[in-house]
Amino acid sequence: MTGMRSSDLLLALLLAGSVRADNLTLADDAQLTGTVRSINAAGLVELTSTLSAEPLLLKPGAVVKVEFSSPAAVAQPPGTLIELTNGDLLPATVVSLDGENLDVLTPDAGPLTIPRGFLKSLQFGVHQRKIVYAGPKNAEEWTRDGGGPKTWTYTNKALTADGPAYASKSFELPLQFILKFTLKWQANPSFQIYFADPLTPKTDPVDRYYLQFNAAGLEIKREASEGQHFRTVMLLGRTPENFPANQVDVEIRVDRKTSRLHLMLNGEPEGAGVDPVGKPPTGNGISLVTTAPAGSTQEIRGIEIGEFDNTRVRHRAEDRGDLNTDSLISRDDDRWSGRLTRIAKGPDGPVFLFKSDFQEAPLELSEADVSTVFFARSEPAQAAGQVHPFALRLRGEGLLRVESCTFAEDGVTARHPLLGPLKISRAGVAALEHLEPQTPLKPSE
């Protein structure tokens, strides 16, 4: 998980609406089954188990992972993401706003009132990313070259090869998509992962992208059917020695609307590149290739393709102007500075009243017209040196840093430095992380 090292206490909680049994993985790979009752600020885990008449107390560092049974059904998270002044994120439905407070309704913690001074931004139109594909599920779903006995085989939820191999699959790729996968190798890697591939016969000129990773390093290239055949999009000085476990998690964000690609390795951004051809490839296929010799096993697992909408990310990252005023960005990229005076109930949903610096009458906009609201800068509400060692990750991209947590069958109780005491249903919590002091916390994408 983000911000964690293998030596840290990592508690990944896949929480259910109805609790049956919690499966704990300990640091030595031993397994325990029971019910987590509490986790204190020091990381001490209290577990009730059939192994003992009394609760078991597991010392900090003993527990690597806790898994809960999954909820039978999960509702769609709210379409608004609230960012607090300390960087925490809360999915919610906006009810109203005045000069003092924002009233919201959360699906798993009920109604909340948040002082306006604790607000950093509101992001609207937030929806769960649609997953186009997650696998591999078997080798047969991927078309193989049929040119010889050596090809990808399916083992332990991964495609593996002992020698040269090729496989491909066609998808319904959106113009903007995210491609994730994990590469693992013996000796040296030898991978070519083609994407936006039209999957035409190998002899035909082709337009596509591909990631190449071998002993020389890692590179993303553009293959073109006209002009210069191969061009570099991104070249990294990351050789296999940079990955001592002989494994790397890859995430490529492909924006064919703007001809830009972003690369992340092991959850960390490695940079962005622009398609040098200008006109992006239109193919919808993925091809998996290894040219490693026999005796050097290559493996691909955790392949995931999802939709990618960078509008919200772009709005959050851009220069918002004067930090001492509110700012509003519309879905059409119109921008105003001034003050958001009110959010009130309208006949067709919330209505935003925004007093712009450049006109007398306030603007009236529906929620459907608003992308982002930035609030005027305020002093951080969290006291310096205050430690909140746990991060609750909520469904819908939520992230709250809290003090010690208590678990019961009907929910999780915790105290947040800005929101105060919270009781959240177990089904609403996706994960819990134990953080080292000063650990930067990154929102999930």
- CA–CA distances in Å: residue 79 to residues 16, 91, 162, 166: 22, 7, 46, 41
Tell me, what's the pLDDT at 425? 87
Mean pLDDT of 78-103: 92
> How far is the C-alpha of 192 from the C-alpha of 212, rounded, in Å?
5
Q: Which amino acid appears at position 122 of this protein?
A: L
Helices (H) and strands (E) in the chain, counts: 1, 36
Tens-digit pLDDT profile for residues 66-82: 665 556 556 677 888 99
**Spatial CA neighbour of 301 closest among 314, 285, 288:** 288
**Spatial CA neighbour of 256 closest among 288, 284, 223, 226:** 284
Tell me, what's the pLDDT at 140? 85
pTM assigned to the model: 0.58
E strands, 186-224, where?
Answer: 191-197, 208-214, 217-223
> How far is the C-alpha of 208 from the C-alpha of 134, rounded, in Å?
21
Contact assessment for residue 435 and residue 3, using Cβ atoms and an 8 Å cutoff: yes
Going by pLDDT thresholds of 50, 70 and 90, the confidence category of residue 6 is very low
Tens-digit pLDDT profile for residues 118-156: 999 998 876 666 889 988 988 888 876 544 445 899 988
Mean pLDDT of 373-380: 81
What rounded mean pLDDT belongs to the chain? Answer: 81
Tell me, what's the pLDDT at 4? 36
> How far is the C-alpha of 350 from the C-alpha of 97, rounded, in Å?
10
Least confident of 247-256, 270-279, 338-347, 421-430: 421-430
- Which of 168-172, 203-207, 392-396, 405-409 ranks highest by mean pLDDT? 168-172
**Spatial CA neighbour of 437 closest among 46, 95, 101, 41:** 41
